[in-house]
Amino acid sequence: MTAAIAAIVKGLGGLGYPAEALLSNYSFADVLSPTGETREVALAAFTQTPPSYRTAAFGVAEAGSGGSDLTLLRALGAPMIFAVAGEHVELWQVHASKPASRIAVATIDTLGDLFARNAEHWSPRAIHRAKAIDTEPLADRQFDFVDTGLLIAIEGEVHVKLDALLRETLASVVDVRGRPAMDARLLFQATFRFLAAKILTDRGHESAANWVGGSVDEVLHGIDLYYGLGTIVPSPRDREQLETVWAGIRAGINFRNISADDLAFVYENTFVTSEARAAFGTHSTPRQMAEHIVRRLELWRNADRVRVYEPFTGAGVLLVAALRQLRSALPLEWNDEERHRFLTARLAGDEIDEFACEVAKLSLILADYPNHNGWDIRQADLFADDRLRTRITTDTFVICNPPFEDFDADDRSSPIAQHDVSKPIAVLEEVIAARPAGIGFVLPSSFIVEKRYRKVRALIESRYTSVEIVEIPDDVFSASRTAASLLIARDPRTAADEPRITIRSSEVTLRDRLQFLKAGVITRSRSLTRWVPDTPSGDLWVPALHEIWSYLSDRPRLGDRLELHRGIEWSGPQTGAWSREPQPGFEPGLHGVNGHRQFQSPHPVWLDC
């Protein structure tokens, strides 16, 4: 280690970066390059462990690196990189879509002053909060050195490359319709173990010694031991096919700098095909839809006592999103085991399908690297009894993508079905009756204004002081063309609160569908705060141009100035019924609407009255 790098390490340590978060000769996949090649920096500093592009704070590159060279290191995820040449040190800011820009110059002797001047903004907590855009913002502070567009760009490319890796690897063992040439569950279980082995190996975890020989049997046995999973023993024919899958994943891009929750999202989305969803009853929530729900619920505000429950868990995408947000809000000084203990005690789910339960558990295990199992995902029929209500406390946030259909005639004896024949309405009413701290639901698009939902909308209006509804276009779900809406309600109303509600209405247009799926882009939002009437109306949607209509609300209406009648009707030919010139018995008026334009006064004619 050179003297300059040693001085940087000392400065970072003085800001609170622990030794285990300062990694020398750190290699990572350049996911922003076409091939995902591996690059390396002399030193990388992270706000917490395990390291990933999400927690990268600083990089250090040696020998004459300029702005164009440092741009090649963008995929590290660090907002700033020190370029070191002898005793000369330059600090560069890394951008998403333009070359790096130099923001400071120092020598070994002046580095201490540079760190001291920027201690407040360069601390692990400050950079962690600035990068963790899903969590609490630091009020009224601007972190101009963090380009959040860089995180979005890296995340998008990580998902593209992981998805391509899995699809290309699995292509040899599935047919053109995505159906496995072997037992689907075995392939799914084995793929999880291969991904887990890959990330543990690339990050240099000590457990990787258990499969140093690289055979499929060693990997399966080693991961089973590490996570405490049940042993799977493939047949000789299946083992031969799994050797091909393991070889493809093993030779893929370096997982060292990839966020584990990204791996969990892609694992579920890529591997669980539409055929598998139909066969096993699983369903998927698009990642950005899940991210928006948990972000707007603001779980970080009371992270120490919050509980998150996902009924109808499916593959657990909403729980993985909640895990990521809660984890980023935890104290940075906590170690992996402390974070794991906290999260497993606060995240839970129920799902009727055994296979979906397994998908959810394995996704959470991947997202919680390097920790073991311990997730509370139970197999249960939530329509059979009152389990749904009993799983909820006043500290619980309920996140849910319920079934959209109505109850079948045979199911209408279910306790929950007594609320309504519609499953989404019945589930919503049952959840609200338990008075949770907040709710985040994926619902049919008709929830926004349809009359059948008015009762439950009024119930939400009476119980919560902050409500957001998001209108989602067609073609957002991977296995369905159904339009949808998101409901996010939080801040339960107390007896001491004024009867006021803040409503936010957001839209994602069809034009912005891909931008929403890639980066969570919302096309437009409208908000208002109003009084809640004694009998809540259930009107939770802020219409377009509502400011104009509100401004005009006390203005005269057309009916206040005009007396409106049906008009003249002729039962016979009208050639003689009107004239451009006055005639006896004719009165001025409008003969028809043809040729008339909005906001322009039409030319009257003379009508035979």
How many Cβ atoms sit within 10 Å of the Cβ of residue 164?
Answer: 15
Quick one: fold of 3-140?
tt1808, chain A (3.90.1570)
Is residue 473 within 8 A of residue 289, CB to CB? The reply is: no
Q: Which pLDDT belongs to residue 502?
A: 97
Sheet of 376-379: strands edge to edge? 376-379, 347-351, 307-311, 396-400, 438-444, 484-492, 464-472, 500-507, 524-531
Which amino acid belongs to residue 156?
G
Distance set, CA 282 to CA 10, 109, 248, 276 (Å): 51, 60, 26, 8
Report whether pLDDT(395) > 90: yes
Query: Global pTM?
Result: 0.80
pLDDT (tens digit, 9 = 90+) per residue, 473-482? 887 776 566 7
Mean per-residue pLDDT, 138-142: 37
Q: Which pLDDT belongs to residue 82?
A: 94
Write the DSSP string, 176-242: TTS-BSS-HHHHHHHHHHHHHHHHHHHTT-GGGGGGTT--HHHHHHHHHHHHTPPP----HHHHHHH
CA–CA–CA angle 274, 279, 283 (5° rounding): 50
Distance CA 297, CA 489 (A): 7
Q: Tell me which long-range contacts 578-585 makes (C-beta under 8 A, separation of at least 24).
A: 578/605, 578/606, 578/607, 578/608, 579/605, 579/606, 579/608, 580/605, 580/606, 581/606, 582/606, 583/608, 585/609
Quick one: fold of 260-549?
Rossmann fold (3.40.50)
Q: Which pLDDT belongs to residue 323?
A: 93
pLDDT (tens digit, 9 = 90+) per residue, 442-475? 999 999 999 999 999 999 999 999 999 999 988 7
Which amino acid belongs to residue 419?
H
Q: Which residues contact 98 (CB under 8 A, 6 or more apart)?
A: none
Q: Which pLDDT belongs to residue 281?
A: 41
- On average, the pLDDT of the chain sits at 87
pLDDT (tens digit, 9 = 90+) per residue, 422-437? 999 999 999 999 999 9
